[in-house]
Amino acid sequence: MKIDQEKPEVDETKAPTNAAEEIAQIELQIKKAQLADLELQKRERELNLDDLRVRIGDRETKAKQKKQDREQQGRTFAQQRAAKEAQQRICTHRKGGMINPRDLSVLSTGGNSNQCCHQAPDDQWGHVGIMSPVW
């Protein structure tokens, strides 16, 4: 004789009439709760990935901005250095130089040294009344 061990159909709206129906109803509730928990875990992982993508995007944006800022600073420093060198090239207050009988321009334009007479040894510039007030 074969005994059929099928689980009875479970109707959650009815109160269980025997132990088998009650067990089936409890198992169904457990499975529904597990399914809901898995769905919430999946949703949480998706949100965590979204947050991570946003943070990575922010970091990349900040890194690009810092790089652009450094490049701009480099261009600014190069422009300032070029302007300073141009002012130094046209400066007539040079130190040193030998007077050559064929070239007496040293007497009117100053020496031929790379250092100007108002330039300190540490490459700091001072104020000379003839020169512009800011060096």
Q: Is the pTM of this model over 0.75?
A: no
More confident: 93 or 130: 93
Q: For residues 65 and 24, what is the distance between their CA atoms, to the nearest angstrom?
A: 61
List, in sequence order, every residue forming a beta bridge with 125; answer none if it has no partner: 119
Share of the chain above pLDDT 90, in %: 43
| pLDDT given for residue 56 in this prediction | 97
Query: Does the structure show a pLDDT above 50 at 127?
Result: no
- What's at 68, amino acid-wise? Q
Q: What are phi and psi of 98, to 5 degrees?
A: -110, 140
The structural domains of the chain, with segments of one domain joined by +, span 19-90, 92-135
Secondary structure of the chain as H, E, C letters: CCCCCCCCCCCCCCCCCCHHHHHHHHHHHHHHHHHHHHHHHHHHHHHHHHHHHHHHHHHHHHHHHHHHHHHHHHHHHHHHHHHHHHHHHHCCCECCCCCECCECHHHHHECCCCCECCECCCCCECCCCCCCCCC
- For residue range 48-106, what is the model confidence (pLDDT) as tens digits? 999 999 999 999 999 999 999 999 999 999 999 998 888 777 766 666 666 666 666 66
Q: Which of 39, 36, 35, 32 is nearest to 10 (CA)?
A: 32
Mean pLDDT of 94-120: 62
pLDDT at 36: 96
